[in-house]
Structure 1
Amino acid sequence: MPIISLGDSIPPDTAHAVSVSLPTWQANVDYEEGDVRVLGRMVTGYPRFFIHRSIQAFAQDFLAAYGQPGQKAMLFATAAAGRRCLEFMRQRVTPQTSNQIFVVDLALDASKDISPLLKQLAPTISGIIFPEESFPVAKEYWQHTGDGVSSRRAEFSHELFKHGQLIAINEQKSHHAPPEKPVRGPKRYSRANSTPGPNAAGSENKALSTSENPEEDRESFHFLEERFGRNLNLTQVARAKSAIRRRIAGSLAGDVDMNDEKETKSEANSRGIESLDETDVLLYPCGMNAIFNAHRVLLAALGSHKSINFGFPYVDTLKILEKFGPGCILYGHASSDELDELERLLKDGQRFLALFCEFPGNPLLACPDLKRIRKLADEFNFAVVIDETIGTFANVNVLHYADIVVSSLTKIFSGDSNVMGGCTVLNPEGKHYSLLKKVFEEQIYENTYWTEDILFMERNSRDFSNRVKRINVNAETICDILRDDPLVKTVHYPKYNPSKPNYEACRLPDGGYGGLLSVVFNHPEHAQVFYNNLDTAKGPSLGSNFTLCSPYVLLAHYRELDWAAKFGVDPNLVRVSVGLEEPEELQLLFRKALEAAKEVNIA
């Protein structure tokens, strides 16, 4: 991959890319400091941290129709998600501000002749409107939960909104009177008019059509159907969703096309649980949304108890457990000593909702003792949620030890870094299976994974298993180079981690050790020069088909570096997500960066 300029998307020229180029160490620092030099050049970012520009554009037009000066809007796919955000915000702002936050729900205009395509898609949007100063609180909810609208859904829905086809639900009851002075603009792309919106009490304002000519509206529908008939074959959506779920369940070979005749015959699943099928797999718009909903279902099914975050936490997993429900305790080393401490608490009568862990962890690649955790869970009646994003089910089988397995499909399952996705997998042999499945189906689960995103994910994931095998080999090659270099203090990788026996207990017979590793240098200066001279893509995310590096601890824990260091997480750690490049090419790139680091004089 060519060197990517600061702020450009990764991959380059990709409308829905999930990473952004931060090619120097200082660029990462400046990003965290909010320096306009970096922020002003960013065309995109990781979608839960950077609101995609197509979503921003829709939010602006939504606000023009329903808001007032001094307000901002945030968009969600369903009314329930919008109201969860509303509740989250009202708990964290002043009573005066709380009264100025409200939700507007959009749906198709039922008074119009709706095409079969739109009836099948049934797009909805719920926008929460709030004072500008409350934006950081709304952004917290967006980032932690993954409930926000996807960029592809926003693009599609925005077109409908601009042409008056997607309107506020209360307007459906008043038959949608058009504005007195509609603003004309270019066909198909004109911007919704801006008029005073509802006040804090929720007074009505009519949704705006950019066309006063019915012929233009018909043309708009024709354009949408042309575009989505070409790029979005709805007849394939059910098969695509089934193919994804079956791949995750391990009952469909990763490299089988959903249209291949072989696909109709299910293979024995590779997760080793005969009763597992695709109905035990639920799809979400991103990995954090899967974790958020796993936590929600556990609270609804098993009661309001604290949870356990076991191992050094991914930042938003910890925030979900802390902010939604009664809280959690953190065991950040994933050690046997911490399991001893947990066992003492349990024997003293303390009860917990669930234990959440990653396998392996990020960024230290440590693996908890799942066998012992499962034993404690069975004895003391708490659930186990395992995030297998980094290990991947092509390398490890952790479902036996879990009640729920969660994963970010955005990462190696997709590989192309152009679509988000997540999943939960219920263990049908688990103690709480029947109750959890019932609560998921009847109370919690909403089908919010947008149709376009499903089709992209299905296509990207067809060669998942073969990609994982090649990435496993490449990662071990890079580990060997780094471990042999005198500048390097530690390479974190499951194969070399002290917790390797725990990994081996779950590794599949033909599984490897994954594509993620972290390197710590003896001196911070070596880390920085190495990073600056490494000619790979450099930015957030992992699991891409190309090698992607980041000073992960700076990005994830910039305001809490001392806290992270207490758990053995070095602030100058460089995380490497290894890709599919030719091994010789990768070796050359890493050796050149190491040679550049050797030129640094350490006083």
Structure 2
Amino acid sequence: MAEALLPHVESSLVHVGEFPGGVGAPEPTFLPEDESHGQIRERVADLVMRACVKDYEKAVAADDVFLYQTGMAAITRLQEAIGALRKDGPTVVFGAVFHSTYHLFEEGEGGIRHYGKADESDVDDFEKYLEEGGACAYVFTEFPSNPILADKYGFFLVVDDTVASFANIDLLAVADVLVTSLTKSFSGYADVMAGSLVLNPNKGGYPALKEAVSSRFRNEFFAADASHLLSNHADYLSRCAIHNRNAAALAAYFHSAAEDPASPISRVWYPPYSPGSGNLQAFLRKPTEDFAAPGYGCLLSVELGTVAQAAAFYDALNFFQGPHLGAHLTICMPYNFMVYGKDSPEVHAAYGLKPQQIRISVGLEDQEVLLQRCAEAVRKMADTA
């Protein structure tokens, strides 16, 4: 957007005054939409209803999809909308979530109540909290926890499905709202940002949520970004199939290495090797001709015995480095160490986010090349750590 505006600065930039504290400032005009916005909404709605695990009474329509300039923008606007409906109680978070999401809730008016392990004992503790009259604005998780509680106590269940993505999982049976960073696998090429909310018309809270979100919605997603995102998305399903295969192959390699007592590899965090992986099976979409093998997405974490070993492995790993996921190139990062290393690391390590983990987001490279690079990094680590 800045690039598009720059040529017009000299000819059309007008000083409209100064407004300390925003008092008296003119109302913002926001951004116009074009046909790309509508096509993306239709595409998201189609993907959500594709190869579902069950038949639903109502289909998600294009006007149930709301587009934003980033995934975090989508979460922020949803937080504002739900806050208008439910003014009391914290946001309850199950499991590990994106650090910016965590801080958004932490800084919110109701604060955060976090169940990091997201196991049965955490669910029991949460139910006890509710039974004793504890308030809850809504539950946010990056995978559904216990939808029965949501029905019983009447809170909204919001699920971030970014990692597994629309191609692989169907969450309409449990989620009131799906939050997705379209920046990731949906785009696939790491050169445009966007986010979406999908409201589930099969849930009792849908009318109130639809009104709260739609009445506040103003387009902030620039048309040229929407057009570019739509172009990137053309090969989405074929890319997701490669992501699934590559990640599964690397996970199998690291799991095999971890079974050797002499190996510095402790474990790999990726289904079916992670605790609770069995819960994912019920939400995998049905195989189709154009997507024969729904899987678990592009992201895995490799856990080493020590931080020193993790550092040596990371230094030897011949992948691009950074925090992104879902791109066409494989990217790695000591995510937990960098994000939580100075922010109560022991708290996050207690539910699995240990500093000696290296996060890998697989790309579209040849599977054998990726396996060879990982094996080479393990060998080099053994020589230096």
Q: Please indicate, yes or no, whether the TM-score normalized by the shorter chain is above 0.5.
A: yes
What do the CA deviations read for 1:175-204 (whole angstroms, capped 9, x no partner)? xxxxxxxxxxxxxxxxxxxxxxx6968999
Runs of 4+ in 1 over 3 A off after TM superposition: 198-204, 268-274
Could you tell me how far 1:246 is from its partner in structure 2? 2.1
Q: How does 1:575-594 map to 2 (within 5 A)?
A: 575-594=359-378
Map of 2:27 onto structure 1: none
Counterpart of 1:487?
Answer: 264
Q: Distance in 1 between matches of 2:253 and 2:286?
A: 26
Q: Which has the higher contact order (CA 8 A, sep 6+)?
A: 2
> C-alpha displacement at 1:251, in angstroms?
5.1
Is the contact made by 2:36 and 2:223 (CA closer than 8 Å) also made in structure 1? no
Give 1:322's aligned amino acid. E
Please tell me the residue identity of whatever aligns with 1:459.
Answer: S
- Give the corresponding residue for 2:196: 423
SS at match of 1:243: helix
Q: Is the 8 A contact 1:400 1:427 kept in 2?
A: no
| Residue 349 (str. 1) matches residue 133 (str. 2) | yes
In the alignment, structure 1 residue 245 sits paired with structure 2 residue 29 = no
1:465–1:202 distance in 2 versus 1, CA, 3 Å: closer
Q: Please tell me the residue identity of whatever aligns with 2:119.
A: S
TM-score w.r.t. length of structure 1: 0.58
Tell me: CA distance 1:304–1:154, structure 2 relative to 1, closer, same or farther (3 Å): farther
Number of aligned residue pairs: 363
Q: 1:306 aligns to what?
A: 90
Question: What is the root-mean-square deviation of aligned Cα atoms in Å?
Answer: 2.2
User: Distance between the aligned counterparts of 2:214 and 2:225, measured in 1?
Assistant: 22
Matching of residue 383 in structure 1 with residue 156 in structure 2: yes
Pairing 1:188-267 to 2, within 5 Å after superposition: 238-250=34-46
Is 2:319 the partner of 1:552?
no
Cα pair distance change 1:523/1:430, threshold 3 Å: same
In the other structure, the counterpart of 1:283 is 67
**AA at the equivalent of 1:502:** N
Contact 1:358 1:387 in 2 (8 A): yes
Q: Please say if 1:512 is aligned against 2:295.
A: yes
Partner of 2:7: 159
The answer on whether the counterparts of 2:94 and 2:116 sit within 8 Å (CA) in structure 1 is: yes
Equivalent residue, structure 2, for 1:456: 228
* 1:517 to 1:160, Cα distance in 2 relative to 1, 3 A: same
Report the Cα distance in structure 1 between the residues aligned to 2:22 and 2:307, rounded to whole angstroms: 54
Aligned counterparts of 1:166 and 1:375: Cα–Cα separation in 2:
55
Alpha-carbon contact 2:272-2:278 (below 8 Å) kept: no
- Determine the C-alpha separation between the residues in 2 that align with 1:496 and 1:243: 38
Structure 1 letter corresponding to 2:139: L
Percent identical residues: 30
Give the 3-state SS of the residue equivalent to 1:501 in structure 2: helix
- Does the Cα contact within 8 Å between 2:47 and 2:166 map onto a contact in 1? no
Instruction: Write the distance in 1 (CA, Å) between the matches of 2:22 and 2:139.
Output: 41
Query: Are the counterparts in 2 of residues 157 and 166 from structure 1 also a CA contact under 8 Å?
Result: no
Task: Return closer, same or farther for 1:284/1:481 CA change in 2, 3 Å cut-off.
Answer: same
Q: Deviations over 1:493-522 (max 9, x none)?
A: 022112012111211133111111000112
1:309–1:331 CA contact under 8 A, matched in 2: yes
Does residue 1:525 correspond to 2:294, yes or no? no
1:416 CA displacement? 0.4
**CA distance in 2: counterparts of 1:329 and 1:548, whole angstroms:** 32
Q: Distance in 1 between matches of 2:164 and 2:23?
A: 51
Deviation, 1:323, is 1.7
Distance apart, 1:303 and its partner CA: 3.2
**Which digits, 9 at most, give the CA deviation of each residue in 1:333-383, with x for residues without a partner?**
111101001111111122211000002xxxxxxxx53xxx21111111111
Q: Which residue is equivalent to 2:384? A: 600
Counterpart residue identity of residue 562, structure 1: E
Letter in 1 for 2:238: N
Aligned equivalent of 2:175: 402
* 1:340 has 2:124 as partner: yes
Q: 2:113 aligns with which of 320, 329, 338?
A: 329
Per the alignment, in what secondary structure is the counterpart of residue 160 of structure 1? helix
Contact 2:51 2:286 (8 Å CA) reproduced: no
Mean alpha-carbon deviation: is it higher for 269-278 or for 462-471? 269-278
Unaligned runs of 5+ in 2: 25-31, 258-262, 288-293
**Is the 1:415–1:545 contact (alpha carbons within 8 Å) kept by the matching residues of 2?**
yes
Task: Give the Å deviation of 1:407.
Answer: 0.6
- CA contact under 8 A between 2:65 and 2:196: conserved in structure 1? yes
Question: How many angstroms apart in 1 are the aligned matches of 2:121 and 2:251?
Answer: 29
| Map of 2:244 onto structure 1 | 472
Instruction: Select the structure of larger CA radius of gyration.
Output: 1
| Alignment check: 8 A CA contact 2:255 2:273 kept | no
| SS of match in other structure, 1:564 | helix
5 Å matches for 1:157-196? 157-161=5-9, 163-170=10-17
Which one of the candidate residues 334, 347, 358 is aligned to 2:142? 358
When residues 169 and 433 of structure 1 are mapped into structure 2, their CA distance, relative to the original with a 3 A threshold, is farther
Asked if the contact 2:247–2:298 (Cα under 8 Å) also holds between the matched residues in 1, the reply is: yes
Structure 1 portions without partners, runs of 5+: 1-152, 171-197, 205-233, 253-267, 360-367
The normalised TM-score by structure 2 is 0.89
Shift in Å at residue 483 of structure 1? 1.6
1:306/1:327 contact within 8 Å kept = yes
1:321 and 1:395 map into 2 onto residues whose CA distance is 27
Structure 2 SS opposite 1:356? strand
Pair 1:567-2:363 in alignment:
no
Q: 1:288–1:550: structure 2 CA closer, same or farther, 3 Å change rule? A: same
